[in-house]
Structure formats: structure tokens, C-alpha cells
A and B are shown apart, each in its own frame.
Chain A
Amino acid sequence: MDFLYDVLIKPFVEMGGDPAFFFQVLWEGFVAGILYALIALGFVLIFKASGIFNFAQGIMVVFAALGLVGFYEVLGSAGIESGTVKAVISLVLTLTMMYALAFGVERLVLRPLVGQEDIILFMSTIGITFMLIGGGQWIFGGEPKSMITEDLGLPTGDTVVDAFGGIIIFQHLDVAATIIAGLLIAGLALFFSKTKTGRALRAVADDHQAAVSVGIGLNQIWVVVWFAAGIVALVTGVMWGAKSDVSFALQIVALKALPVLVLGGFTSIPGAIVGGLIIGIGEKVFELYWGGLMGGGVESWFAFIIALIFLLFRPQGIFGDKIIERV
């Protein structure tokens, strides 16, 4: 009975007893969820346009962030004093690097593999992942680095709000992350619906062959979409790097975008966001109120197990297209 009480009643009593803390937990979960959603967004972009499940999205986040910090250091040793100038130049350089990566991936990996089975393409992205891990550690070094938060103009510090009979702390960085993520998503939505390239992307996502037949160049589209995923990766990397350090451990955390995708559906951008928020908030709440019963650390698997249970009942996700199979 004690156990049942601990599982079923006590956590809710705790939530009600200290609503300010509960709200704080929700906020932390929300911010984590935004970051998961951003990574998932990178996956969705590529999956929609090419049907490729890009396992390398997580390492692209790390790679972009490391590139940014790395260029910054190089510029520093080259004698440039002003932090902002260095930050801007290294941002441009990093974007160039991500474009080169997108171009290289399309030219060297995707183009020769056109028409192969999905699973082969998936495994090739695992190959890309390891190339980026090896190459990244070789070039930028394996030790964690701190993000150049201030020079990028991101706010630090926090605001304390009195509410619900307690205090809630809002890190300014978290607020900024939420706003930037919102802007990025809005920007992508505009890009998809209003620009010519965006429409071409949607056409390709809808039907490759039909898109080709009306004169859309697939190869070009793929470069664009991998570059877009690279930009999303850079933004995610900056946000995440500012919250903790930039290190290769992020790549494992980034795998949590996979259950996010399962929840949201592989082809849906709103799905990625909603899925990210569910996972982010869910795992924080579960960790703090139920995790203690199991010795803590449940954050590492909560998302996956939720996704697993979810898969059993609705394999296509909340917003995904219904899966229809024919022989």
C-alpha cells in the first residue's frame, strides 16, 4: 500500500503543496523540450524532403557549435580584439562550413546512393556521424568548450518572479532560447509557404518523381534542405552550448530527438514541436516526482520508453500521415 501511495498519490500531493516549484519544473521542462524540438526539426526537414532518416543531426549540432567556438578561438589568436566582430565572423564561417558539409554530403554520399533502400541510407548517415565525430575531435579537440554566449549578444542572468506562494526563476537565456526557437520555426514556416524554393521543397516532399517531372532539381533541393538542417543545428548548438558546455556528450542527448519524432510523427513540423514539449516536460516532471522511487537518473530512458509504449498504439505518431502499405 505504501508503494501504491508513493506512486499514485504522493507526487500529486507534492505538486499541490509547492506549486511554485512545480511551475519551475514545468518551465525547465519546457525549455528542454524546445531544444529537443529544435533537433527534431532538423530531422523532420531532411526526412520530409528526401525520405532520409538523418542520424547525423545530433552530431551536426555538436559540430556546428564546436566550429563556432573553434573559429572564434582561431580569430582570437589571429589578433582580432573585439568580441562581437569575432563572433560575427565566426558565425559566417560556421554557416559556410555547414553549407560545405551539406554540399559534400549530397555530392559524395547521397547522390551515389539514390534509389537505395531507406535502411541503407540510414546506415550511411551513421557513417557520416562517425566521420563527423572523428573529424570534429581531430580538428577541434575532444575536451568540452564553453560557448561564446556574451559575444553573440545572448543575455545572461535571471529574473526572479514571486508567484504561487514561492519564487520562480527565469534564466534570461532560456527565455531568449524560446523566442529564438519561435522565430526560427516561424521563419521556416514562411520559407516553406512563401518562397519558390520552399514550395519546391514541399513538392519534393510530396512526390519525388512528380517534382522532378515539373523541373525541380532534386540534388539542389537536397543541398538546400541539408543546409537548412545545418542552420537549425547551429542554432540548437548555440542554445545548448550556452546552457551547458559544448562537448561530444551532447550527441547522445541529441538521440532523444528520436522519441520526439516518434511522438510527433516523422513528417510533421508542428508534431516535432509538440512532441519535444511533451518529452521535455514529461521527463522533468517524472524525474523529480517519480524518479526518486527508482533511484534517480530516469531521464536517460524515460523518453524512449514513452515512445515505445506510444508506438504500440499509434505507430504513425500524433500528427503523422497514416501508414499504408502495399505489396
Chain B
Amino acid sequence: MFYREAGDFKTSYKSDLQAFPIRQDKIGIYIWLIIALVVALFAYKEWGIMGMDSGFAMKAIIIPTLVFTLTTLGLNILTGFAGQISLGTGAFMGVGAYACYKLTTYFPDVNIIILFFASGLVSAAVGVLFGLPSLRIKGFYLVVATLGAQFFLEWLFGRWAWLYNNNPSGAIEVPVRTLFGVEITGANASVVAQYLVVLGILIFMTWIASNLIRGRIGRSWMMIRDMDIAAELIGVRPLWAKLSAFAVSSFYCGVSGALMVFIWLGAAEVESFDINHSFLYLFMVIIGGLGSITGSYMGAAFIWIFPIVLKEIGKSFGVGATVMENISLLAIGVMIVIILIKEPHGLARLWQIAKQKLRLWPFPH
């Protein structure tokens, strides 16, 4: 009754194009932003959430969820919006992480935020390179091509000592970097500052993504996805559409990879970018909803938090952590299949259905 547009009275293009036509949605976004800031306050005051101590909640749940949301957003642009399935996400994140590490080694005085985005550009370039085959092939064949990227880059990260500054352990160890005088990387960094940095970048990049998708580029991606030959016939250039999708997607993945290592992990080896992670990101996209920004948030949060919750439940029943890990793998597999059968558009679609119902409520029609 309350949640709806008041009739369809749009008098200008501007109002027709607005992102949130319903006032409650606008309010909802603000509420989410407020919640996000309150979470920061919780951590700042060291108040625990639901019995967990706040450092754990931040480090193990909230920050990784935000980072993976960014990754999922990137992969969703490629797979969900442009229809090019990729199993190389982990490697593209790795490119971002190693690029950021090299850049901050050479330019220690440059603001780290700028370097995050610069490393995204490096990742975008690599993404375009490995996206080139997509011009001739698609579907399963492209999966093979992206797997090629995954394995080749993984190998490169392990073998090319220059990438990790000839560090004998073969790992990236993140140096201390500050933003406005506050340490945001390294062991002594403030969790709240880290949280705010990741959150800020995520919000900024979500905003960019949603506008890209609403605009000309995004529409050409979706046309390619829905039927590439038809799209070509009505004037979409597949070269531009596909490569720009690869570039933007890899840019997002690169930035999230840099954030993952610099803000969340603090140190990283090749294993952080391996094929299993690439699968995980694909699951986040599928569960959340192919071709949905809200879905990217839901999918990342779900896939990341679900095993942790399951492990905690197992702990309270005295079941070992490995057993619960296997059960969560099993459960995720089952859920993938169920979601594909029942609702191929994922959690986001369920959310949309709920909203649609709410629009009509309390009347049945």
C-alpha cells in the first residue's frame, strides 16, 4: 500500500531515468548507509556483535565480505551482464594485488588509494589481453581460455621473483601505508579505518557500475549476452562490447585483489589466487543472481558467511571443523543446483519478487 510509485506520472526524461523511482528505496539506501556507519562505530568502541568480539567480526566477516562483493560485482559485469563466463577471476585479482605491491614499492609516497585504482588498470590491461579470444569463441570454449589465464598467471606469480621483490618466502608482505595520517595497511592498522576505506571504495565503484550498466555500454553488454549475432546486426560492435566488459570486470577484480591483500590478508602467496577461489567467486555470482548488482552483495555475503556460520554451529555440536567444511561444500553445491532449477536469477530475483509483492500489498491484484 505504501511501497509504490504514486502512479506513472513521469514528466521528464530525468525522472524516467532515475535509479530509485520509489521513495522507500531511496530511504532504504540511506538506512543501509547509516547501518554501515554504525557498524564502524561498533568496531571503534570495541563493542562485540552477537557475542563475537568486534575485531574478529570485522576481520573475518565484514571486511572480506565487502572485498568479495567488489570481486563479485566485477565478475557479474562479465558473466551476468555481458554473458562471458570466466574462471580466471582469482588470477585477475592476483594481477591487481601484485601490481599494487610493485607500484607501492616503486612509489612509496603516492597515496595508496590512487595505487589501488592504478593496479586495477594493470589488471584491466591483462584482462583485455586474455579477453581477446572471446571475439572468436564463446561459452565453454571461453571457459578454457579463461582457465588458461588462470593457470598461466598462477604460474607466473610463483616463478617471477621480481613480482614479490625476491622475497625468500615467495609471498607479498604488505608495507605500512597511511591515509590522512592513519595507518590503513600493516599489522597495526586500525580496523575501523580499514573498514571505512573498503566501504568507501565499494560504494564508489558500485555507483560507477550501476551507472555504466544503465548507460550505453551496459546496454550493449546485455545485447551481446542475449544474442550476439542479432546485436551485431543492429550495430553493436562485439569487439568493443566484449573487450570493454573484460576491461571493466578485470578492473574491478584487480582493485578487489589489491584490497584483499593490502587491507584484509596483509600478506599473500599464490594460493590466495588459485582456481578454487575463482570457483568461489563464480558461485557468489550465481547464488546472488546473474546480472544484478544487489545480487552481487547478497551472493558474496551469503557464500562467505554461510560456511563460517555452519562451522560455528558445528562447533557448538562438537563436530570437527573439517567435517563442517565438507558439509558446507556439499551444501553450496546443492544450493547451486537448487537455485539453478528453481530460480536461475538467484537471491536477487527472490528479493525482487518480494518487493513486487510488497508493491501490490495488501491487494491481491
We find that the number of chain A residues with CB closer than 8 angstroms to chain B is 49
**Inter-chain contact B137/A315, CB cutoff 8 Å:** yes
**Inter-chain contact A259/B326, CB cutoff 8 Å:** no
The B interface, classified by DSSP as helix, strand, loop or mixed, is: helix
Q: Which of A113, A130, A258, A295 contacts B147 (CB 8 A)?
A: A258
**Inter-chain contact B227/A327, CB cutoff 8 Å:** yes
Q: How far is the CA of A124 from the CA of B339 in the complex (A)?
A: 9
B336 contacts which chain A residues (CB < 8 A)? 123-124, 126-127, 130
Q: How far is the CA of A128 from the CA of B158 in the complex (A)?
A: 30
We find that the number of chain B residues with CB closer than 8 angstroms to chain A is 47
Closest residue to B342 on the A side, CB-wise?
A112
As a 0/1 sequence over residues 109 to 140 of chain A, the CB contacts with chain B under 8 angstroms (1 = contact) are 10011001011101110111111111101100
**Inter-chain contact A311/B145, CB cutoff 8 Å:** yes
Q: How far is the CA of A309 from the CA of B337 in the complex (A)?
A: 33
A103 contacts which chain B residues (CB < 8 A)? none
Most buried by A among B286, B327, B333: B333
Q: A135-B330, A311-B136 are in contact. Are A109 and B337 (CB under 8 A)?
A: yes
Q: How far is the CA of A109 from the CA of B341 in the complex (A)?
A: 8
Give, as a whole number of angstroms, the nearest-CB distance from B218 to chain A: 20
Count of chain A to chain B residue pairs whose CB atoms are closer than 8 Å in the complex: 140
A229 contacts which chain B residues (CB < 8 A)? none
Q: Which of B143, B286, B333 contacts A258 (CB 8 A)?
A: B143
Q: How far is the CA of A296 from the CA of B229 in the complex (A)?
A: 42
Most buried by B among A113, A135, A311: A311
Closest residue to A121 on the B side, CB-wise?
B340
**Inter-chain contact B148/A297, CB cutoff 8 Å:** no
**Inter-chain contact A327/B229, CB cutoff 8 Å:** yes
**Inter-chain contact A134/B329, CB cutoff 8 Å:** yes
The A interface, classified by DSSP as helix, strand, loop or mixed, is: helix
Give, as a whole number of angstroms, the nearest-CB distance from A297 to chain B: 6
Q: A131-B333, A262-B144, A311-B136 are in contact. Are A113 and B227 (CB under 8 A)?
A: no
Closest residue to A111 on the B side, CB-wise?
B341
Give, as a whole number of angstroms, the nearest-CB distance from B269 to chain A: 15
B259 at the A/B interface (Cβ < 8 Å)?
no
**Inter-chain contact A119/B85, CB cutoff 8 Å:** yes
**Inter-chain contact A307/B330, CB cutoff 8 Å:** no
Which B273-326 residues have a C-beta within 8 angstroms of A?
275, 279, 282-283, 286, 322-323, 326
Q: A127-B334, A142-B322, A327-B229 are in contact. Are A307 and B148 (CB under 8 A)?
A: yes
A325 at the A/B interface (Cβ < 8 Å)?
yes
As a 0/1 sequence over residues 143 to 177 of chain B, the CB contacts with chain A under 8 angstroms (1 = contact) are 11101100110110011100000000000000000
Q: A297-B159, A298-B155, A304-B148 are in contact. Are A134 and B337 (CB under 8 A)?
A: no
Q: How far is the CA of A42 from the CA of B46 in the complex (A)?
A: 55
B85 contacts which chain A residues (CB < 8 A)? 119, 122
Q: How far is the CA of A252 from the CA of B279 in the complex (A)?
A: 12
B233 contacts which chain A residues (CB < 8 A)? 327
B147 contacts which chain A residues (CB < 8 A)? 255, 258, 304
A191 contacts which chain B residues (CB < 8 A)? none
As a 0/1 sequence over residues 221 to 263 of chain A, the CB contacts with chain B under 8 angstroms (1 = contact) are 0000000000000000000000000000000100100110110
Q: How far is the CA of A47 from the CA of B342 in the complex (A)?
A: 24
Q: Which of B139, B148, B275, B344 contacts A118 (CB 8 A)?
A: B139
Closest residue to B285 on the A side, CB-wise?
A123
**Inter-chain contact A312/B133, CB cutoff 8 Å:** yes
Give, as a whole number of angstroms, the nearest-CB distance from B325 to chain A: 8
**Inter-chain contact A138/B136, CB cutoff 8 Å:** no
Q: Which of A128, A266, A304 contacts B151 (CB 8 A)?
A: A304
As a 0/1 sequence over residues 326 to 360 of chain B, the CB contacts with chain A under 8 angstroms (1 = contact) are 11111111111100110010000000000000000
27 contacts between A and B (CB under 8 A): A53-B139, A108-B337, A109-B337, A116-B344, A120-B344, A122-B85, A122-B140, A123-B340, A126-B282, A126-B336, A127-B333, A127-B334, A133-B329, A134-B329, A258-B143, A258-B144, A259-B148, A262-B141, A262-B144, A294-B159, A296-B159, A298-B155, A301-B151, A304-B152, A311-B133, A311-B137, A311-B145
Pairs of residues from A and B, 10 with the lowest C-beta to C-beta distance, nearest first: A134-B329, A134-B330, A127-B336, A304-B148, A131-B333, A130-B333, A138-B326, A301-B151, A301-B152, A127-B337
